[in-house]
Amino acid sequence: MKVEDYIEKLKPYEGGKPIEELQRELGIEGEIIKLASNENPLGASKKAKEAIKKATGKVYLYPDGNAYYLKKKMAAKLNIDMNNIIFGNGSDELIELIYRTFATNPDDEILYCYPTFIEYKIIGMGFNKKLIELPLNNYAYDIELLLDSINDKTKIIFLNTPNNPTGAAIPKKDINRVIDAVKDKNCLVVIDEAYYEYAIAEDDYEELLDLYKENNVIILRTFSKAYGLAGLRIGYGIAQKDIIDYLNRTRPPFNVNILAQEAAMAAIDDDEHIRESVKNNNEGKEFLYSEFEKLGIEYIKTYANFILFDTKKDANKIYEALLKKGVIVRSMAGYGYTTSLRVTIGTMDENRIFIEKLKEVLDV
């Protein structure tokens, strides 16, 4: 079989290394901690797990393709209309649907700052799109540069706030400037808030939900992070009715499975679990900040559940050395940050183990 050049050039997405893979590869028998994929270290809420158990009897049935009850519940929680919501098999799928639905002209340009969530790039390459990648400014989205780069071909702008992998947030006034700049153009602004629940706990992170009222905006959020349901694959988009309607036309019919729908409904009811998760994250963040400071390691203030830190040493080597000690983080060398790594904030026990092993690896 032959494929087009742009498919030939694609490299599959590389996620954080699964624990089982590390066990297999290095024969490590002791405890392994994974702080590599920004999952919730407290796991899923009890209520969600009970709902999953209860729903197993229904798995021979197709799920509700419209996710009616879940949509109703989410609409009530957000105080918006059901018609303004779409669910996806993870927000990853929604990113793909956005490309498939709106970036259909060969001349379309896709705009974002980089490093950011790498799926904007991988999915865009899979659609053979012209990707305009602008550098970050001091680890944050460079809004001036982004505004200067908008033209009549710009079809999708990805704004990731907080930005994965740096943790920086985009001020609401800057997001508004981007929205204003494309108001009269046929261009969609995607505000990816995968880490919303963590971000909103910070004093200076502003609520962005009302921006869905703009006619060319979609806000993406997910159950994979603070809700602890990454393994079930469920995320959602909030936008004007016509945007949701078009996305529904290209959406596979049963994209969100029964267990994910039931778990998400139960998770929405478990505010306590989100509070606990955010509290754990804040404690872990303060602990890691202070340990990094003691070690003289520079880090970026995060609005999410991960921290980008600079060891001033070869990041890939540090990554490999940590792996051998049973700690999985992410090297940022592939993003051009050759001496930086990203660590997901874990439980306090995991954070302590990580720091202990990091000190051993750095020989301090």
Ligand X SMILES: Cc1ncc(COP(=O)(O)O)c(C=O)c1O
* Contact call for residue 117 and ligand X (CB under 6 A): yes
* Contact call for residue 278 and ligand X (CB under 6 A): no
* Contact call for residue 311 and ligand X (CB under 6 A): no
Least CB distance to ligand X at residue 161 (A): 9
Count of residues near ligand X by CB under 6 A: 13
From the list 327, 322, 330, the residue with the least C-alpha distance to 306 is 330
Least CB distance to ligand X at residue 2 (A): 31
Point out which span in 85-93, 123-131, 133-141, 183-191 binds ligand X (CB under 6 A).
85-93
Q: What does R_g of the chain's alpha carbons equal in angstroms?
A: 20
Binding residues for ligand X restricted to 43-82, rule: CB under 6 A: none
CB hemisphere CA count around 205 (13 angstroms): 20
Closest residue by beta carbon to ligand X: 90
Binding pattern for the stretch 24-43 against ligand X, x by CB under 6 A and - elsewhere = --------------x-----
Contact at 8 Å (CB) between 330 and 165? Answer: yes
Residue 276: what are its φ and ψ, rounded to 5°? -60, -45
- The Cα diameter of the chain in Å comes to 59
- Strands 306-310 and 340-344, how do they pair? antiparallel
d(CA 202, CA 134): 27
Point out which span in 62-70, 222-230, 244-252, 343-351 binds ligand X (CB under 6 A).
222-230
Q: Which is nearer to ligand X, 227 or 299 (CB)?
A: 227
Quick one: residue 296, left, alpha or beta (phi over 0 = left, psi -120 to 50 = alpha)?
Answer: left
* Contact call for residue 160 and ligand X (CB under 6 A): yes
Q: Which is nearer to ligand X, 236 or 299 (CB)?
A: 236
Chain-centroid distance, C-alpha 305: 10
d(CA 81, CA 144): 34
Q: Name residue, tokens 């869905």.
A: 212
Q: Which is nearer to ligand X, 160 or 351 (CB)?
A: 160
* Contact call for residue 141 and ligand X (CB under 6 A): no
Q: Which of 40, 84, 164, 344 binds ligand X (CB under 6 A)?
A: 164
Binding site for ligand X (CB under 6 A): 38, 90-92, 117, 160, 164, 192, 194, 222, 224, 230, 235
